[in-house]
Amino acid sequence: MAVTARTYDASQYERPSVTVDVVIFTILDSELKVLLVKRKNWPCEGMWAIPGGFVDMNEGLEEAAYRELREETSVSGQDVYLEQLYTFGNPGRDPRTRVITVAYFALVGADKLHLPEGGLRAASDAAGVGWFSAYTPPLLAFDHAEILEYAITRLRYKLEYTAVGFQLLPERFTLRELQEAYETVLSEKLDKGNFRSKLRKSGAVEATDAYQETGGRPARLYRFRDDAVAEIKTRRLFP
C-alpha cells in the first residue's frame, strides 16, 4: 500500500537526534585558539568539549549554528565567517541516544570578540569556558578531538586556496601580521618575499592610507578587498 499523509504514522519510525557543533577559531597571543566549554552534566561531565547543542524542531541548521556562536561569544552573524564542515554520525558517538551532529567551523577576528566585562562566561549548561591552543587542547568529550582535527585540516586547506584566513585578522592589518597569521595556522615559516609576491598577484588586499607605529619605520595597514574573489587566483599563497 502506498504511504500517504493519512496513512503515515511517524511514531512507527525511530528518529535520531540532531545537533550542531561549532569549532570557533581565533588568533590570540600569536597562537591559533579554539573555544571550548566544560561540560556540566552527564555524559562526559567535567570534560572539555566543542560548543554545540540540539537543533530545535523549527530551526534550520545554520540558524542553530549562529545561535550557538552568539551564545558563546556574543558575535553577530556579520562579524564571523561560518562554514559547514562535516556530518559526524557514528552510532556510538553519544551514550544518551542516537545523535548525528553537523559540525561547522567559524573564524573570528580577536577585535570582533564582544566579550562581557571580566572575560568569557560559561552558559548555564556549562561549568566553564575558555580559549585553548588548537594544536594542544585538553582531552575532549565524545568524538570532538576528531572534529577539531578535521576542522584544522579544512582551515589549512582553505588558507591555501581561498582568502578566508583574513577573517582571523582585524579589519586593517599589516602584511607582517597577515603572514604571521598564516604561519600560526600552518605551523611553519613562510618566505617573506614569495608570500608577498603571491599576495600582490592575488589582488585580494589593498593598501589604506593608515600606518601602524612599530618603533621604527611605520608599517602600512592593508585591508581585504570586499570585491575580491573568494578564490585566490594564484595556486597558493605560500611555497
Assess whether pLDDT exceeds 70 at residue 236. no
Q: How do beta strands 48-49 and 52-54 pair?
A: unpaired
Closest listed residue to residue 167, CA positions, set 230, 69, 75, 81: 81
Which domains are seen in the chain, by residue range?
15-159 (3.90.79.10), 163-224 (1.10.10.10)
pLDDT band of 235, cuts 50, 70, 90: very low
Q: Which long-range contacts (CB under 8 A, 24 or more apart) does 71-75 make?
A: 71/123, 72/22, 72/24, 72/35, 72/37, 72/123, 72/129, 73/24, 73/35, 73/108, 73/113, 73/114, 73/115, 74/113, 74/114, 74/115, 74/116, 75/108, 75/112, 75/113, 75/114
Alpha carbons 176 and 123: distance in angstroms, whole number: 36
Q: What pLDDT score does 119 carry?
A: 53
Assess whether pLDDT exceeds 70 at residue 1. no
Express as a percent the part of the chain with pLDDT over 90: 57
Give the mean model confidence (pLDDT) for residues 7-20. 87
DSSP state of 173: B
Q: Where are the alpha helices (DSSP H) in the chain?
A: 61-73, 144-161, 175-186, 192-202
Nearby residues of 178 by Cβ (< 8 Å), 6 or more positions away: 165, 166, 169, 199, 205, 222
Give the mean model confidence (pLDDT) for residues 123-145. 89
Give the mean model confidence (pLDDT) for residues 90-115. 89
Give the mean model confidence (pLDDT) for residues 102-128. 73
More confident residue, 237 or 131: 131
Mean pLDDT of the chain: 86
More confident residue, 115 or 157: 157
Assess whether pLDDT exceeds 70 at residue 2. no
pLDDT band of 118, cuts 50, 70, 90: very low
Q: How far apart are the first and last CA of the chain?
A: 62
Assess whether pLDDT exceeds 90 at residue 20. yes
| Of the listed ranges 51-60, 72-81, 97-106, 170-179, the one predicted with least confidence | 72-81
DSSP secondary structure string for all residues of 82-122 = EEEEEEE--TTS-SSS-EEEEEEEEE--GGG--PPTTS---
164 phi, psi to nearest 5 deg: -65, -20
State pLDDT tens for residues 183-234: 999 999 999 999 999 888 888 889 999 999 887 889 999 998 876 655 555 4
